[in-house]
Amino acid sequence: MKTAAGVPRSGLFFRPSFLMNQPSNNRWLHRYAVLTALATLALIGIGGLVTSHEAGMSVPDWPNSYGYNMFLFPPSKWIGGILYEHTHRLWASMVGLLIVALTRWLGGRPIRKPLAIVGLIEVLAGIAVFVIWPSEKATGGFLTGIGGLVLLAALIWIRGEAAPRPLPQLGWAVFFIVQLQGLLGGLRVVLFKDQIGIFHATLAQIFFVLLCLIALMTSKWWNRMVTQHTTRDTLVPSASGLQKLILATTALILFQLILGATMRHQHAGLSIRDFPLAYGKLWPATDPASVARYNEHRMEMIDINPITAFQIQLQMVHRIVALLILGAVAFCAWSAWRKHFGAVAKLSAFWLGLIFCQAGLGAATVLSGKAADVATAHVLVGALSLATGAALSIIALRFPALGLASTESKALRAANMNGVMDVGSAGEMPAAR
């Protein structure tokens, strides 16, 4: 049986038109990807509040919360650090839900079978945990619930085609990462391992980057650029100096974020409390007597572990890398504006603005004694800086003509400018290339 439009009626559920559109012609998919990326940025912010308030262990069990089902934990008990940790868990669950739908949407019809298999495996694994380890019934129930949702997503009949490569693959990547993140967050709690927290925080940044790339690649601007750059040779560009620098700087920002996550998960607060000097010097003494003296004078309220020489050196490396990043991004922006044109130049300028903001927040974090809101803003802008660098890297590699003014025609420049103005708006996406 067919509708008037010739669309088959078979299927289990309601099929709104925006879901049935081809991914290559779906403004809602792009908007949904942006929404998911924003929700993830908020999740990183809430995670930052958890560590800034030292609230990571305020709910000692997982996936339950003080024995309650996570979703039924009474708000009257959301006191002290519990407010941050529990909100983080609930928000993460919501992001997980968004990701399952995003994966399904990007993958279209072809993804149904593999998604159903994954969902079924998770349901069966949850039941197995339930039966084999009755004491872990909460974990079994949680796993079964996740699997059930995945299975449901697979069963919902969406007629859409898969989005162009590599979007379905990116969908799978965020699908698995979000589940791994949930597991890591839980293990951090039940195993009391700070190292897991560092990995959890780093993976969150990579996860956010992937979502930003999905949002970018589903945008009207990206589609237009793909249409304009059709020759295969531009798909495998020879890396110019600027491209290499953008890539290297993005990698350096990721390294910097790992350093930051390591510092946050030491639970020792600020190992150096003055700025721009460190204990009044360009490079502080880190011999045992000096470190003992620093600890004698530290007055901490929350991050109460004594600081160590390693932590002082870690913060010094963090400061030096910050300077390197500032210099590298400033050079990228300057090079892009001086020699090139279009998206690379504009995004580089935005990137530089973010890095200046981030440097200011880093200094403010120290001078405010690591105030929770300032430190969390530092985490958020760090995430945005990495995502911007990653987007810039992808653009510079995928569309090298955007950054090579010498080979670019005036017409192409004008087209690029128009395209830049349309970034983020909905539009058509061409077939995969």
Partner 1 sequence: MKSSFALLTAIGIASLAQFATAADITGTVTLSGTPPAEIDIKPLLNDPVCGKLNGGKATTHFYVVGPNKGLADVVVMLKGVPPQAADASTPPAVLDQKGCLYSPQILAIQTGQKLLVKNSDPASVPMHNVHINPTAAANVAAYSTKISQPQMSGAPDLTYDFSAPENFMKFQCDVHPWMFAWVTVVDNPYFAVTGEDGKFTIKNVKPGKYKIVALHRKAANAGIEKDVEVKDSGATVDFTIEIK
Confirm or reject binding of residue 127 to partner 1 (CB under 8 A): no
Between 161 and 194, CB nearer to partner 1: 194
Instruction: Say if CB 205 and CB 257 are below 8 A apart.
Output: yes
Smallest separation (angstroms) from partner 1 to the CB of 113 = 42
**For residues 91 and 48, what is the distance between their CA atoms, to the nearest angstrom?**
13
The two tokens of residue 64 are 């339950």
Smallest separation (angstroms) from partner 1 to the CB of 81 = 5
Q: What residues contact residue 101 under an 8 Å CB cut-off, 6+ apart?
A: 32, 153
Which amino acid would we find at residue 80? G
Between 24 and 52, CB nearer to partner 1: 52
Between 113 and 293, CB nearer to partner 1: 293
| Site residues (CB under 8 A) for partner 1, limited to 301-360 | 301-302, 304, 306
Interface region with partner 1, contact rule CB under 8 A, candidates 88-96, 230-238, 288-296, 395-403 = 288-296
Peptide bond into 166 cis (omega under 30): yes
Instruction: Say if CB 239 and CB 54 are below 8 A apart.
Output: no
Q: What residues contact residue 406 under an 8 Å CB cut-off, 6+ apart?
A: none
The closest of 198, 153, 197, 145 to 175, measured between CA atoms, is 153
What are the φ/ψ torsions at residue 12 (nearest 5 degrees)? -95, -30
Interface region with partner 1, contact rule CB under 8 A, candidates 4-12, 212-220, 249-257, 296-304 = 296-304
Peptide bond into 306 cis (omega under 30): no
Q: What residues contact residue 253 under an 8 Å CB cut-off, 6+ apart?
A: 325, 382, 385, 386, 389
Confirm or reject binding of residue 114 to partner 1 (CB under 8 A): no
Instruction: Say if CB 196 and CB 264 are below 8 A apart.
Output: no
Among 42, 82, 285, 326, binds partner 1 (CB under 8 A): 82
Among 77, 109, 113, 433, binds partner 1 (CB under 8 A): 77
Between 85 and 408, CB nearer to partner 1: 85
Confirm or reject binding of residue 58 to partner 1 (CB under 8 A): yes
Between 128 and 191, CB nearer to partner 1: 191
The two tokens of residue 250 are 């993005």
Between 77 and 109, CB nearer to partner 1: 77
Instruction: Compute how many residues bind partner 1; rule: CB under 8 A.
Output: 24
Among 30, 53, 104, 220, binds partner 1 (CB under 8 A): 53
Confirm or reject binding of residue 299 to partner 1 (CB under 8 A): yes
In the complex, the residues that contact partner 1 under the rule CB under 8 A are 53-55, 57-58, 60, 66, 76-77, 79-82, 192, 292-293, 295-297, 299, 301-302, 304, 306
